[in-house]
Amino acid sequence: MAAPRRMKPVQARSKAMVERILAAATQVLASHGYGQMSTNRVAEAAGVSVGSLYRYFSDKDEIFDVLRLRASDAILQRLTGAIAEAARQPPRAGVRAVVSSLVAALEEHEAVVRALVNEVPMGTQANVLPEIERGLSTFTRIYVAQQVPQMATEEMDARIYLAMGVTLNSCLRIALEKPPELDAGHLVDLVVDMLVLGLSPT
């Protein structure tokens, strides 16, 4: 576990230095991945000495932890906003808005999300993806209750459980692995079709 940050960035200059280091760390993640990320590489990308970096972060894991928390907060905030907007839209349009928003948020934080999915030990990843799934699950439960009020609780639980896996994994694939010849909008529509079909009674 990373040691506590050595220096809190109270002054504007210190805060600017922290932001510079974090921006550089994001660049290193995007170009080299988490496995090849190091404090030396981050310091070089930031144009600062390693000694200056160590005034604020004890190691690369502490740097990444800040990036992870920021990405998680931003993704959840965007997802929460999309869910609130979806409540005022027709059912299918609302589902599409939520799925589209999640894909866009994952794309925006691609470097961090890719590291979490592919390289960082599961213990750290567990702090991000289940939070996203919980937000989706809450929205989906409300959607099903409104559209199919007669569905038994056990059946609803089973369908939502599987739908969450399909949705999150599909959004991750679209955001991180989409082949250039495939249209992202069409893929989102297909995810929405699977969701609507899977959550409706046969």
Three-state secondary structure string covering 9-35? CCCHHHHHHHHHHHHHHHHHHHHHCCC
The rounded distance, in Å, linking the Cα atoms of 161 and 6 is: 42
- Per the structure, the complete domain to which residue 133 belongs is given by 67-199
Task: Give the CATH number of the domain where residue 18 resides.
Answer: 1.10.10.60
pTM: 0.82
The pLDDT of residue 14: 87
The pLDDT of residue 1: 46
* Blockwise average pLDDT, block size 10, the chain, 202 residues: 52 89 96 93 96 94 91 88 86 91 94 85 55 82 84 89 88 94 96 86 64
Instruction: Tokens for 164, please give them.
Output: 């969450």
Instruction: Tokens for 151, please give them.
Output: 């569905």
Q: Both 77 and 17 in a single domain?
A: no
Q: Both 71 and 90 in a single domain?
A: yes
Q: Both 27 and 126 in a single domain?
A: no
Q: How many domains does the chain have?
A: 2
The pLDDT of residue 147: 81
Give which of 49, 92, 75 is closest to 134, Cα–Cα.
75
Longest Cα–Cα distance of the chain, Å, equals 64
Would residue 116 count as lying in a domain? Answer: yes
